[in-house]
């Protein structure tokens, strides 16, 4: 699908994977709206890069509805990338006893319910746009003509390799990300009737603000666990995959691991 001229909404867009994606989409000609929490650096980041910033909690129905409506008011909303999430850890049974249930529920609320909230609202807005013809379609080989290659939009969600290789202390995080991966195919199948694609990216160990708090030696050690390339992933590499997903009409209903072939150890 063509990026130029489309409105792109990126949650978690004030930093890390979301910011890199927002920058790439803007460079490709999209009108970019970033969504992040009110206390984030979203306002200053938007001013620096020329984005529109909307303060919202992805798990809040009213706040995200307003954010999607605002984005759709800037033009055809065709690209949504859901990067917002938290990585709170905790053992099921720790030194203080069982993991407080509210901590487990909070991770699922932000990562899984929040992602679904973004998807459902974005899909409803995309369904109201006019379809675009697939620029890669061959009219001579396509007996149905433009209708068979048309698209209204693309939604990219973010899981994690923890959905498949969860470590000790990641029960809540792994469950939330497994949920994101698990809902990708049924949502893609449903939204096909609206000419909307849905793809999930499952990153491995990436250079993000959460990693920035670790000592350099610790970051180097984590990077060396990646078979190839033996380093942390770069946000620009995540963004590059988002761009390819948007442009490639046959990518749909899939969860793509972006991890340098790492398989996480138990600890």
Which regions of the chain does DSSP assign to beta strands (E)? 7-11, 31-36, 52-55, 77-82, 93-94, 97-98, 132-133, 150-151, 153-158, 196-203, 255-258
Give me the helix-helix angle, 171-191 and 101-108, nearest 10°. 30
Nearest-angstrom CA–CA distance, 173 and 133: 38
Give me the helix-helix angle, 16-27 and 42-49, nearest 10°. 20
Residue tagged active-site, from 51, 116, 173, 238: 173
Is residue 238 part of the annotated active site? The answer reads no
Q: Give me the residue label for tokens 């202390």.
A: 169
Beta strands 150-151 and 132-133 are antiparallel
- Nearest Cα to Cα of residue 181 among 160, 167, 196, 195: 160
Coil/strand/helix, residue 146: helix
Write out the catalytic residue numbers.
173
């Amino acid at each position: 699908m063509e990026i130029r001229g489309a409105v792109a909404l990126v949650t978690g867009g004030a930093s890390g994977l979301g910011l890199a994606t927002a920058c790439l989409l803007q460079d490709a000609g999209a009108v970019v709206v970033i969504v992040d929490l009110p206390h984030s650096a979203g306002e200053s980041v938007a001013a620096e890069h020329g984005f529109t910033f909307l303060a919202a909690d992805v798990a809040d129905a009213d706040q995200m509805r307003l954010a999607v409506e605002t984005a759709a008011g800037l033009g055809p909303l065709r690209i949504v990338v859901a990067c917002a999430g938290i990585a709170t850890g905790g053992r099921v049974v720790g030194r203080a006893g069982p993991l407080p249930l509210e901590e487990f529920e909070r991770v699922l609320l932000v990562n899984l319910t929040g992602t679904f909230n973004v998807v459902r609202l974005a899909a409803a807005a995309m369904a109201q746009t006019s379809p675009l013809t697939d620029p890669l379609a061959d009219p001579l080989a396509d007996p149905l003509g433009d209708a068979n290659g048309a698209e209204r939009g693309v939604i990219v969600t973010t899981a994690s390799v923890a959905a498949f290789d969860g470590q000790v202390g990641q029960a809540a995080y792994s469950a939330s990300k497994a949920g994101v991966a698990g809902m990708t195919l049924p949502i893609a199948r449903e939204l096909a009737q609206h000419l909307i694609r849905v793809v999930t990216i499952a990153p491995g160990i990436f250079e993000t603000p959460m990693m920035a708090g670790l000592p350099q030696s610790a970051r180097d050690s984590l990077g060396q666990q990646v078979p190839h390339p033996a380093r942390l992933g770069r946000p620009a590499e995540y963004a590059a995959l988002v761009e390819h997903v948007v442009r490639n009409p046959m990518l749909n209903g899939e969860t793509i691991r972006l991890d340098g072939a790492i398989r996480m150890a138990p600890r």
